[in-house]
Amino acid sequence: MVILDTHIWLWWLLGDGSLRSAEREVLNELAESRNLAISWISVWETEMLEKKGRVTLLPDFQSWIAKATAPEIVTVLPADIAVVLAQRSLPESFHGDPADRLIAASSILSGYPLATYDQKIVKSGACKIWSV
């Protein structure tokens, strides 16, 4: 199982961003074997990005998010107290973005590597980082 940071999930599904073709192919394979996950906070982040006009989701947010979170695409990891407690163990140097903190905590708690291009998360060493 691999947890996708919000930007990786959106780049993969929307076909844009900085994903290399090899990464995209492996993500497709992982989806087929039901080995991709996102944190529940990625749904909220996506809604915020759409509301601000930073991403376009067709035909509308509600329809797009229903398809993008379907079990054959990703497993949505739930919100729970354990994730909140796990984020408290992040190093002091870890940046304060609440979504990134909860996504990294989900990776730590689950033991699944995180697919991210966020260099602040990568450099923190707080969780395992996925790579092709």
Check: CB of residue 107 under 8 Å from CB of residue 113: yes
The pLDDT assigned to 93 comes to 87
Residue 15 pLDDT:
94
Burial grade of 74 (CB within 10 A; 0-12, 13-18, 19 or more)? buried
CATH class held by domain 2-124? alpha beta
Contact 103, 39 (CB under 8 A): yes
pLDDT at 95: 85
Sheet of 75-77: strand order equals 75-77, 36-39, 2-4, 114-115
DSSP calls for 109-131: HH---EE---HHHHHHT-S-B--
CA 62 to chain CA centroid, Å, is 18
pTM across the whole model: 0.96
Per-residue pLDDT of the chain (132 residues; tens, 9 = 90+): 999 999 999 999 999 889 999 999 999 999 999 999 999 999 999 999 999 999 999 999 999 999 999 999 999 999 899 999 999 999 988 989 999 999 999 999 999 999 999 999 999 999 999 998
Helix, strand or coil, per DSSP, at residue 66:
helix
